[in-house]
Chains A and B, each alone.
Chain A
Amino acid sequence: MADYQNENPLTVGLEKTLHPQPCSLVIFGGSGDLSRRKLLPALYNLAFDGLLPTGFAAIGFARSEMADHEFRAFAAEGVQKFSRRRYEATHWQDFERSLFYRTASFEDPKSYAELKAALEAIESQRATLGNRVFYLAIPPTMIGLCVKQLQAAGLIYPAKQTDRFSRIVVEKPLGRDLETARKLNDELGEVFDESQIYRIDHYLGKETVQNILVMRFGNSIFEPLWDQKNIDHVQITVAEEEGVGTRAGYYEEAGALRDIVQNHILQLVCMTAMEPPYQMNAEVIRSHKLEVLRCLRPMVDEDFQRYVVRAQYAAGYCRGVEVPGYRNEQGIRPDSTTETYIAMRVFVDNWRWAGVPFYLRTGKRMAKRATEITVQYKTVPRVLFNVDAANPLEPNALSLRIQPDEGISLRISAKLPGPKVRIYPVKMDFRYGSTFGAQASPEAYERLLLEVMAGDATLFMRRDEVEAAWQWISSIQQGWARNPAKWLPEYKAGTWGPVEADRLIESDGRQWRTL
């Protein structure tokens, strides 16, 4: 006899991986840009694909005065503009019935009491079974206040309650240094159990980032060669083509170190360097990533001279269009010393990676948008085909392209056709777009929202992970604070960065890859 007193036997085998639960999703900052561009289109896409639970509601909760119908119009505009799936009136009509809005004053307990009353009505109307997800798309300074208000209003169930759940999702920046990150985590921890907290780094929702683990541990040919005995160095590049845009206020405070390195790049370092996990389980994966962060060698003063380069973009041309320099951008101080580019050499001091440099770089207004991890292998011995010191063989390089044009390529040496033995580097290319045809990958937020609804935290950062990342970043922040810069080197917009960054890697006898 099937056991269906508590479980639902009809769901067995129905979903291959995720089993999202009915819930209400309350979006703090629901009238903002993230909501319009990412969250609401992601939810629509999930509904369009039949993946959203039918018992679902999204409630915008923000300062702007808006009625339900205005929020629905706001969402429709976002979906029409930014959705991966086309806007279809029939589907939209079903979806928009799940959208609600409540105007909030985040400081005012009355707003939360009203939210509670609204949620209770919506839960019954939408069959969400009382499950609640609070998505905080708000500035980090507001988070502590909001979670306390949620608790005071009785909107949160304890983690041990099994018949319904409360979960909270927080977006980066998760602090601006170790101290503020700890404070933020303390504030979250006072109200929520760690198992209820989902810290988003949207990079982890990307298919190709998840594929790093599949490539490493789903194939037997790479892992035996994935160590200091075989690898010469690793390069990780996150290049952005756009400038600071409308985010001047935020970016002036953050800079490339906090905006990209502390989260996205360190996550890529973790995925590249982590030991084989014994299970695809949130705690196991996150603990293995944490081990990598704890092995990052802190920066000391002498490193800053040679192995950390920060710079700002100067005026130049991006794809033929004239663009201003960083300090001439709207909202940026003319004497700003905020870095828009950073390159550095770092080491993961453990058995596997001892002595293998990881060269990291990220910048705005670079030649093109590209994120790539390249593992460069050691050269073959200087015998046989590699005896010509003037023309050494190109070493093998395995590149994992995260975006755009997602895929994997491997540079190998091959014999040029002809009577003589002439070796030439050739590239074996695997492209997601070609191989998997027109099957569009879901947006990162679609995957991450489903994970939250399913209660799987594998792709989210745990408290100790975030703090370990900040701990390492703080060695750089402190180094900069000890020697404050009056100016930063510049690189022309539309290029691959400053000459100082080239010198950084060239002093080790290596070169940045052209992406």
Chain B
Amino acid sequence: MSAGSAQELSSHPPRQVAIDALEGELVKLWRHPEEAEEIRAHVTRACMSNLIVHHRPAEGGPETIDQMLIDVVRFHPCRILLLSEDETESSPEPRAFISAHVDSSQMAFSEQITLKTGGAGLARLPSIVRPFLLGDLPTSLWLSSGGLIPMGQDWFHELTEMADQMIYDSFIWSNARQGLISVTDWLAGAPAERSAADLAWRRLRPWRRLIAQALDPAAVPGALQAICEITIEHGPHALPQAWLLAGWMAQRLGWRPRAGSVTPGTEISWFLEAPAGPVKVTCRRLQQREFELADVEITWRDGAKTPKARFSHAGGGRLTVTYEGIDHPDRAMAVPRRTTGEMIARQLPDFGRDPWFDQALALARAMALAMEE
């Protein structure tokens, strides 16, 4: 038994079982827990969702998939179907493994089915997944590895048909423009009850909250309608997130993109048309920063003056805002530090469409289309 995260949950090593024996092995976990190697005491089952995870082991990040999944079930007990696309698997026949996550009081547990296959076996996976989805529970598909969303793939299409939401992280996209366009295309074609969720958007919430508070009309009258320039400095992989933030502000404040230009590897700029005049938005890439977003500087016109509010990632789980050109106190806000698994767990119950995300995404797409190729 391996120790679980924060010693609250333990995870059992996967045990290989034949695919046609999976059903029986799962039933055995419940009907005869004493016979299942994973559980040696009476347990109370807990399950809130089905979670299908597509993962490529070769693209490992700082957190292993096992760590992330333990964190998911700590916060959101669910049945996990981990689809591991491993090029080292030579046979097209997927191999199945079963494991369980049990908490220290044996009160709750989640079962996990892992299916390993090489690229050739991907087409078979949806047919294996389908019978193992628990009825009456929402289903989410999480694309845990990098690269763009595999829109044209049949297996992906079949999996999304089973899911209420598709979760991805645009932080790991290699091409922000293409990614934004393809997600909005997918959303446009998806039925209204199916949603997309970007973890990068979730991580933007503290930024959005601080910007909204710091420029609130009651605190800084007139600032919002007089914004003339936004500069967003971001880490090397966070262009999609910076873009989403700009899309959100533009959408909420009624701006329309007119033109965009790219300085390869350095920055992207747009000119948008706002009711009170043009707005310039720049997303500037920093090479040596570990951050996602590092700084957001918002400038507005106040007569002849151009005051600024500068929002910064201050380290230690904090965001700060400082002002220039107006007499207003600096402020700080705590940013809850969450692992990827916890972020996923928090996203799973939010499976309905988030209209503000969809609208921000739609405007980000309009910004993408306004750019010079």
Which A residues contact B (CB, under 8 angstroms)?
A: 1-2, 4-15, 22, 47-50, 53-55, 88, 90-91, 94, 124-127, 129, 163, 429, 431, 433-439
Contact = CB atoms under 8 A, between A and B. Distances in A.
B253 A55 contact: no
Contact of B208 (A14, A434, A437): A14
Nearest to A90: B316
Q: Identify the interface centre among B211, B216, B219, B329: most chain A CB within 10 Å of its CB.
A: B216
B14 interface: no
Which 7 A-B pairs have CB atoms at the shortest separation, nearest pair first? A13-B356, A90-B316, A10-B212, A434-B108, A54-B331, A434-B46, A2-B254
A53 B316 CA distance: 19
A438 B70 CA distance: 11
A55 B331 contact: yes
A57 to B, nearest CB: 10
Interface of B: 8, 44, 46, 48, 73-77, 107-108, 205-206, 208-219, 224-225, 249, 252-254, 275, 316-318, 321, 328-329, 331-336, 345-346, 354-356
B77 A434 contact: yes
Nearest to B337: A88
Given A10-B212, A55-B219, A129-B219, A2 B336 contact: no
A90 B317 contact: yes
Contacts, number: 126
A435 B207 CA distance: 30
Contacts of A9: 224, 252-254
Contact of B217 (A4, A91, A431): A4
A50 B335 CA distance: 6
A5 B217 contact: yes
A14 B108 contact: no
Contacts of A13: 354-356
Contacts of A1: 254, 275
A437 B252 contact: no
A54 B332 contact: yes
Contact of B329 (A6, A15, A125, A433): A125
B27 to A, nearest CB: 16
Given A48-B334, A50-B206, A439 B75 contact: yes
A50 B336 contact: yes
Contact of A10 (B107, B224, B316, B331): B224
A88 B108 CA distance: 30
Contacts of B333: 50, 54, 94
A433 B107 contact: yes
Contacts of B249: 10
24 contacts: A1-B254, A4-B225, A4-B253, A6-B217, A12-B252, A22-B213, A49-B336, A50-B336, A54-B210, A55-B219, A91-B318, A125-B329, A126-B329, A127-B328, A433-B107, A434-B46, A435-B108, A437-B73, A437-B75, A438-B8, A438-B75, A439-B75, A439-B345, A439-B346
Contacts of B346: 439
Contacts of A55: 213, 219, 331
Contacts of B225: 4-5
A14 B275 contact: no
B336 A437 contact: no
B179 to A, nearest CB: 23
Contacts of A5: 217, 225
B108 A437 contact: yes
A90 B318 contact: yes
A47 B211 CA distance: 16
B364 to A, nearest CB: 16
A236 to B, nearest CB: 25
Contacts of B356: 12-14
Given A14-B205, A94-B332, 11 more contacts: A8-B218, A12-B252, A22-B213, A49-B334, A54-B213, A54-B321, A54-B332, A127-B328, A129-B219, A434-B44, A439-B345
Nearest to B354: A13
Contacts of B76: 436-437, 439
A374 B334 CA distance: 41
Contacts of B253: 2, 4, 9-10
A129 B214 CA distance: 12
B355 A22 contact: no
Contacts of B355: 13
Contacts of B77: 434-435, 437
Nearest to B210: A54
A12 B252 CA distance: 8
A57 B6 CA distance: 34
Contacts of B213: 22, 53-55
Given A9-B252, A14-B205, A438-B75, A47 B334 contact: yes
A11 B275 contact: no
Contacts of B275: 1
Contact of A437 (B44, B74, B210, B224): B74
A8 B212 contact: yes
A4 B220 CA distance: 12
Contact of B224 (A4, A12, A50, A53): A4
Contacts of B108: 433-435, 437
Contact of A431 (B44, B205, B332): B44
A76 to B, nearest CB: 16
A163 B217 CA distance: 11
B224 A8 contact: yes
A434 B75 contact: no
Contact of B48 (A88, A94, A436): A436
A124 B329 CA distance: 8
Q: Identify the interface centre among A1, A8, A10, A429: most chain B CB within 10 Å of its CB.
A: A10
A11 B205 CA distance: 11
B208 A48 contact: no
A125 B356 CA distance: 33
B46 A435 contact: yes
A10 B329 contact: no
A10 to B, nearest CB: 4
B211 A10 contact: yes
Contacts of A437: 46, 73-77, 108, 345
Q: Identify the interface centre among B73, B75, B206: most chain A CB within 10 Å of its CB.
A: B75
Nearest to A19: B212
Nearest to A94: B332
A221 to B, nearest CB: 14
A79 B242 CA distance: 36
Q: Identify the interface centre among B252, B334, B336: most chain A CB within 10 Å of its CB.
A: B334
A431 B355 CA distance: 32
Contacts of B317: 88, 90-91
Contacts of B107: 431, 433-434
Contacts of A125: 329
